[in-house]
Copies of this chain bind each other. A is one copy, B any other.
Amino acid sequence: MLVLGIDPGTAITGYGLVRTAEDGSLTAVDYGAFVTKAGTPMPRRLAQLYGSLNEILLLHRPDVSAVEKLFFSRNVKTGISVGQARGVVLLGLAQAQLEIAEYSPNEVKQAVSGYGNADKKQVQEMVRVLLNLEEVPKPDDAADALAVAICHLHSMRMKILQQGENE
């Protein structure tokens, strides 16, 4: 199963594709960030983000997607701005008929590092270890997106385990 994780933002949206094997091992298939320039008008930047996302969707054809959920931000203005990028991402995923899971930053930390209060560096280091990478994925947004994808795989595995126990 191939999971696309996304950490949306206006200036930079991280993406990460993680494949899980039968034995549960994880591989980073691709990761990176869609970057748009600050000087460019916002509608143009959103169109660029939408185009880049669609390229990745066509290239990798993931089975499922997971997006970081946002509850807060530095301020309302930032919230609206990130919301705009997030809206374009959700639209692209919906149009690709992809199932979309959403996880809060704390759920992601919990899933990747075992506890919800891990700091950013610890989460990134856990991502590196879980994916058998030599270095922490760069930029940070790509590492965050990979963490969201891993979170979804953990969450699905937990559900399957729980179902087994209830039978």
Residues of A participating in the B interface, judged by any CB pair closer than 8 Å: 41-44, 46-47, 50, 70-73, 75-77, 79-88, 90-91, 93-95, 100
Contact = CB atoms under 8 A, between A and B. Distances in A.
11 contacts: A43-B91, A44-B94, A46-B87, A46-B91, A50-B91, A72-B76, A76-B79, A80-B82, A84-B90, A87-B88, A87-B91
Nearest to A86: B84
Nearest to A67: B43
Contacts of A94: 43-44, 46-47
Q: How many monomers of this chain does the complex have?
A: 2
B83 A87 contact: yes
Contact of A91 (B71, B80, B81, B88): B88
A57 to B, nearest CB: 13
